[in-house]
Amino acid sequence: MAQIIPEMSPAAATIFRNIQYVFLDRDGVLNRKAPEGAYITRPEDLELLPGAGDAIARINRFRQKAIVVTNQRAIALGLCTDNDLYRIHETLCSLLSAHDAHLDAIYYCPHDYGQCNCRKPKTGMFEQAFRDFRNANTSNSVMIGDSPTDVEAGWRLGMRTILIGEQCDWHLDAEFVKPDASAESLLDCVERLLGFATP
């Protein structure tokens, strides 16, 4: 029996037409952020945000790619290692799996400020993803994050951008961090803006 896909809202159909690759920040989008000035350095510190698992599952069901791009300065500060981060991401994938959800790739920047071309708002992680996913490009991708640096990274590449979370009005007067849309949560974003409602 043919699966009936619900129609996307007119606004989302116009702004976010043909999205096939969903780029996501990690902390504050998929999982709860550490307190100000602190970092998630152990698997047991990781806690999925409400609705995040369902949101990724919906992206998966619509056969779009879910790709994490995350700054992880804790490595540069010596607070955790690459192996620690690998274990944290194993936990993240396990928590998502409980919701029948999966990530297609995770890219991270381990560097401190000014040391690389991959730390957002620079674009190195995205450029690597575009090399790895040959069909991905700026016209069929969207960046979803909870900070102006996430939006600026997408803006630099010409990608569409969505800013989510309680502080989704940060610096929206500044042209370079102005997102195409804002949402209360990742689940709100994939349902209302991207049109990935439950088939």
| Residue 146 annotated to the active site | no
Q: Is residue 4 over pLDDT 60?
A: no
Name the band, by pLDDT with cuts 50, 70 and 90, for residue 14: confident
Under 8 Å CB-to-CB from 195, ≥6 apart: which residues? 6, 7, 8, 9, 12, 13, 16
Q: Is residue 148 over pLDDT 60?
A: yes
The active-site residue, picked from 27, 54, 146, 150, is 27
Kind plus residue range of the DSSP H or E element containing 21: strand 21-24
Among the ranges given (27-31, 34-38, 52-56, 121-125), the one the predictor scored with the smallest mean pLDDT? 34-38
pLDDT in tens, 155-198: 999 999 999 976 554 555 555 678 999 999 999 999 999 988 76
Once rounded to an integer, what is the mean pLDDT over residues 98-110? 98
| Residue 25 annotated to the active site | yes
Helix/strand/coil for 105: strand
List, edge to edge, every strand of the sheet that includes 141-145.
105-109, 65-71, 21-24, 141-145, 160-164, 181-183
Tell me the backbone φ, ψ of residue 86, rounded to 5 degrees: -60, -45
The Cβ-side half-sphere exposure at 12, using a 13 Å CA radius, reads 19
Q: Is residue 13 over pLDDT 70?
A: no
Q: Are 151 and 178 in contact (CB under 8 A)?
A: yes
Once rounded to an integer, what is the mean pLDDT over residues 106-114? 97
Question: Whole-model pTM?
Answer: 0.91
Continuous H helices in the chain: 10-15, 52-61, 73-76, 82-97, 124-132, 148-157, 186-188
